[in-house]
Structure 1
Amino acid sequence: MSYDSVLLDVEERYVKQTYRNRCTVLTANKVDTLTVPVKSENHGLTKDVRIDYSQDWVRRHLGCLQAAYGKSPFFEYYAPEFNAVFQKKYEFLIDLNYDLLTICLRLVGVKKEVTYNLSGLENTQNIIKNEVSEINNKKNKNIFKYYQPETYYQTFGNDFVSNLSIVDLIFNMGPEARSVLLKSSKIQ
C-alpha cells in the first residue's frame, strides 16, 4: 500500500502454479482453492492468457463464495459486485484480474491507479519485480518479510487461517478491512 500506483505487467511470462489465476477461501470444512482455468501454455505472455470457459468454473466460484461467505457479516453488501464481474465473459485473464483488483482496492479503501504496463518492467524496477514474483509464487512461504497477517474475525472455525484471498477479509471485516491490511503490512 506504500506505492503510488499498481502496475499489471502484461509483458511478463505467465507461469502456472501462481496466484495469477487462483485464490484460496475458507469454507466450513477446509481451505478451498478456486482456479480460473486458462487456455494458455506455460510461459506465454500474461496479456495473451485466455480464460477457458469449457469448464463451468463461474458457477463453481459463485457457489463456493456463497457457501463460504454467505453468512459473513458483509457478504450481502459486497457479493453483488463480485457476482457482476464473474458474470461478464472476459476473453483474457488479465482483464478479469484488473476488474477484480480494482473492486478489491476500492472496497478496502485503497485509492491507487491500476494500469497495464505494456513495456515490461524497467531494469530500475527489478527489486519491485522480484518482490512481486516472490509473492505470486503460491509455493513460496517467504512472503512474511512483506506481510505478517493480523488476525481478524472469520465465519468458520475458532482458529485464524491466514493467507486467504482478500475476499475473506472483505466479507468478514467490511469497512475495517483497510485497518487490518495496514496492521499486517511490513512494507513502509
Structure 2
Amino acid sequence: MLNSETSLIAIFKSRQEVMHAVDQLTEVDLMEISRTAVVARDKNGSTVVVGSHLTPEEAGFIGGLAGALILAFWTNQIGFFDSAHLFTFVILLLAALLGALMGYLIGRSIASAVSFGSRHPQVEAAAEHLKFGEAALIVEVETPEALNQLRRELEHFDAEVLEHPTQS
C-alpha cells in the first residue's frame, strides 16, 4: 500500500500530458521514486490503471500459446513421434489444439478473477477527481525531501496536485 506521507496525485488534462510528465521525471535525478501508477477514466466511467494489468484476452492468448506448446512437447516425450505415420501428425495437432484451448480458458479465468491493484486508496481518490479524458499520475517516493523535489518538478506542468489524498 502507498504511504500517504510520501505520495501525491497529480491530475493532468490528458494521457499524453501525463506521459510527457513521466518522461520528464525520468530524466530528472529522482532516484527515490518507489512506485508510480497512471490512472484514467474510460468512456463508461470505469477506472483504468494504465499499463498495470493483463487483459483477459491477452492472458488467454499467452495461456493458449503456452498450452499448445506444452502438450505438443508432451506428445513428443511420450513417444508419438517414434513412427512416421499419418496419425502422428493428427495426434500432435489435436494435442496442440487441446493445449491451446485449455491454456486459453485458464489464462482468461485467472486474468478475470485477479485484482491488479486498482483498489488502493490513492487510486480510488484519483478516480474520484478524474473527468473523462483526464489522467492522474500517482507517485510514491521514499523520503519527504524527494516529495518536495517531485512537487517542484510538477510545477512545470499544468497539473492539479493532490497531497495526502487518503487522509482527507
Q: Shared topology, TM-score over 0.5? A: no
TMscore range, shorter length:
under 0.3
Report which structure shows greater RCO (CA 8 Å, sep ≥6): 2
Relative to its length, the structure with more helix (as a share) is 2
Q: Which has the larger radius of gyration?
A: 2
TM-score, normalised relative to structure 2: 0.23
